[in-house]
Amino acid sequence: AYIFQNPDKRIIFAIPYQEEFTLIGTTDLEYHGDAGKVEIDAEEIDYLCEMANRYFKRQIGKEDVVWTYSGVRPLLDDSAENASAITRDYLLECDDAGAPMLNVWGGKITTYRKLAEEALFMLAPHLGASSQPWTAGAPLPGGDLEQPGKMVARYDFDAYLRKLQARYPWLPAGLAHRYARSYGSRVDQIIGQADSLAALGEELTPGLYEAEARYLVQHEWARDADDILWRRSKLGLHCGP
């Protein structure tokens, strides 16, 4: 991955993505519309292409963009002059007048665990709870690659992938790699008792079998095709219309 410093003092990232693509971003603009309808605009695309072209030999334009995604995040108003300069920190406020109400202001996905820990710490006295924080040592779902329920300081992903391929030698190498990267130790929940590729069910789109779609519905709350192809797997990048 690369981090590029731009003349406007912002940075953008260029990250190898889904084996065949490069993920380039981000922009930070103030947004006042419907949070459910946010999307990148033409000026932002031109900006990201221009910044990438400052550094890469291969020049790109809007015609090279195959997919975009956008999001809205709340930021604390710290009187900064533009959105990119506003703090990414968060603020927790507990209102004890009446039933306790915890307000969470700001925050970002990379601090979600610490934020949640602090939030529960503030709520615990009101709930009569006395347990201590524990999430720092708990693996995320599928993250216990070394031993069940245990998190280690450094994982050997290649070693895990070799074990997976030895356990399911009929699984194509590319599919085994994607399963391992996406689901970690939860791969077994997808494969179940299958002993062949055909036993995973119908291939719904290239590389997506019924067994994985069923897992995404049952365990990751996928509701429709977009959930599976874009929000969960990014397989939409590899599919035709």
Q: What is the pLDDT of residues 49-77, one digit of tens each?
A: 999 999 999 999 999 999 999 988 888 87
**Which residue ranges make up each domain of the chain?**
2-64, 83-135, 157-238
Buried b (16+ CB within 10 A) or exposed e, 111-132: eeeebeebbeeeeeeeeeeeee
Q: For residues 134 and 200, which has the higher predicted lDDT (pLDDT)?
A: 200
Enter the pTM of the model.
0.82
Q: What is the pLDDT of residues 68-104, one digit of tens each?
A: 999 888 888 777 777 667 777 889 999 988 888 999 9
Is domain 157-238 classified as CATH 1.10.260.40? Answer: no
Q: What is the pLDDT of residues 207-217, one digit of tens each?
A: 999 999 999 99
DSSP state for residue 7 in the 8-state scheme: T
User: For residues 53 and 24, is the Cβ–Cβ distance under 8 A?
Assistant: no
CA angle, residues 4, 36, 223, in degrees to nearest 5: 105
* Confidence bin at 160 (pLDDT 50/70/90): very high
Is domain 2-64 classified as CATH 3.40.50.720? Answer: no
